Amino acid sequence: MGRWSIGLIILLMILGVYSIGCKAQDRHLGDMMDGDEYPAEEVREPIYDDAEDIMDEFDNIVKGDNEPFVLIGFMDEHIGSVAEDEAVEMILELERVQEAYVERYAEQLFAEGYQMELLGLHEVSRIDDDMDETHILKQLYFDAEGIERIKDGDLEQLVQHIMDGGYKLINTEGVFYPIIDYEALGIYYEYITEEIEDYIEIKAMDLREPAIIDAELQITFDQLSGRLMDIENYIAEYPRGRRYGRLLDLYDSYLGVYLIGTDNSPIYDYETGRIREEVWDSYRKAAGDMDRPIFQTIDRYMDIIGKNGNSIDGDILSKVPGLKAMAIAKLQK
């Protein structure tokens, strides 16, 4: 398996549990990179009699396996003319198409020389960066203003399509991958339900402040606990929500990190094997809030760790899958 495939799988697990399994019909992006115009049916601007006509045309665009930027262009023009539930359908369908194109775009970005040019431009854009709170984001994401400086015409068009399609290019382990820019969906909040707006906000958290970068935790365990609480609140408010399953998966991913840590940020000290004080304090807070679905799980985990002299070993970590299952079962009640 190539480097980009392994890196992409890890990245998608960390940054939001994206669902790559839903594949659109096969279409070679190379056919779209030669400067040709889109077929007439993709760019025509018919006059729609009502919202039903708009949704029919949107459905046709989706079935035509168009790239996400085509869907966004149509939505920007017409989403204000459909009902709220129809606008929600547009958003959710856009997300599905964006997910389907993540792997396609990633493959294209690994064409010969593309990564080197992007990395070169990225380094130039960071020379004058100050070490402020936005510095880490500048380190992570390719600056859209750098598109005009791309010398390779095919790469320039590819990156423009990716950006216009609602993605960011994230730099991890020295390569760029596309990830869905959930923050960009904020322009549609006035047209959609609070349920989907809240879902987008949760998904956007990792864009504003990534939890993990290169297997190292970037936020505190208290902040990670707060993200778990946000998902608990969402599931409690929308127990049959449209994105219930996806956020349950994200909860599972966050919880695994909360109980174990990451390769470069374990919950214990490497030298002593004892649980880190920051982690223990966070657990104590979580276990003290009996209104939280997770409190029984953390309380039991602390008891197990305490009986082991506050040391973490293979036997302790082997209990985590069962504890996670218990927490998720409690959350689903």
Q: Are residues 20 and 140 in the same domain?
A: yes
pLDDT computed for residue 197 by the predictor: 97
Q: What is the pLDDT of residues 104-132, one digit of tens each?
A: 999 999 988 899 999 999 875 554 455 45
Q: Are residues 126 and 81 in the same domain?
A: yes
Token pair for 77 = 């023009």
Q: Find where tokens 């504890």 sit.
A: 323
Q: Are residues 241 and 149 in the same domain?
A: no
Helices (H) and strands (E) counted in the chain, each on its own, are: 15, 4
Please tell me which residue, 322 or 4, carries the higher pLDDT value.
322
Average pLDDT over residues 253-278: 96
Q: Are residues 131 and 259 in the same domain?
A: no
Q: Classify residue 204: in a domain, yes or no.
A: no
pLDDT computed for residue 27 by the predictor: 35
pLDDT computed for residue 78 by the predictor: 96
pLDDT computed for residue 218 by the predictor: 92
Q: Are residues 22 and 162 in the same domain?
A: yes
Average pLDDT over residues 290-309: 93
Burial code of 285-319, b = ≥16 C-beta within 10 A, e = fewer?
ebbeeeebbbbebbebbbeebeeeeeebeeebeee
**Mean pLDDT over all residues of the chain?**
85
Give me the phi and psi of 176, to 5 degrees please. Answer: -100, 135
> pTM to 2 decimals?
0.82
Q: Classify residue 312: in a domain, yes or no.
A: yes
Q: What is the pLDDT of residues 136-164, one digit of tens each?
A: 666 789 998 899 999 999 999 999 999 99
Tell me if 168 sits within 8 A of 141, measured CB to CB: yes
Please count the structural domains in the chain.
2
CA distance 328 to 210: 23
Quote the domain boundaries for residue 228. 211-332
pLDDT computed for residue 49 by the predictor: 65
CA distance 211 to 217: 6
Q: What is the pLDDT of residues 70-100, one digit of tens each?
A: 999 999 999 999 999 999 999 999 999 999 9
CA distance 77 to 312: 56
Q: Are residues 144 and 173 in the same domain?
A: yes
pLDDT computed for residue 22 by the predictor: 38
Q: What is the pLDDT of residues 214-251, one digit of tens each?
A: 889 999 999 999 999 999 999 999 998 999 999 999 99
At residue 4 the predicted structure's pLDDT band, cuts being 50, 70 and 90, is very low
Q: Classify residue 206: in a domain, yes or no.
A: no
Domain C-terminal end among 191, 222, 247? 191
Sign of CA dihedral 55, 61, 64, 65: negative
Residue type, 5: S
pLDDT beyond 80 at 320: yes
CA distance 240 to 236: 9
Tell me if 167 sits within 8 A of 18, measured CB to CB: no
Q: Are residues 161 and 67 in the same domain?
A: yes
pLDDT beyond 60 at 58: yes
pLDDT computed for residue 151 by the predictor: 95
Domain C-terminal end among 163, 191, 219? 191
Q: Classify residue 180: in a domain, yes or no.
A: yes
Q: What is the pLDDT of residues 10-52, one digit of tens each?
A: 444 444 433 333 333 333 333 333 333 344 344 445 556 689 9
Q: Are residues 180 and 257 in the same domain?
A: no
Q: Are residues 93 and 26 in the same domain?
A: yes
Residues with Cβ within 8 Å of 49's Cβ and at least 6 positions away in sequence, in order, are none
Q: What is the pLDDT of residues 178-211, one digit of tens each?
A: 999 999 999 999 999 999 999 999 999 988 888 9
Average pLDDT over residues 167-175: 91
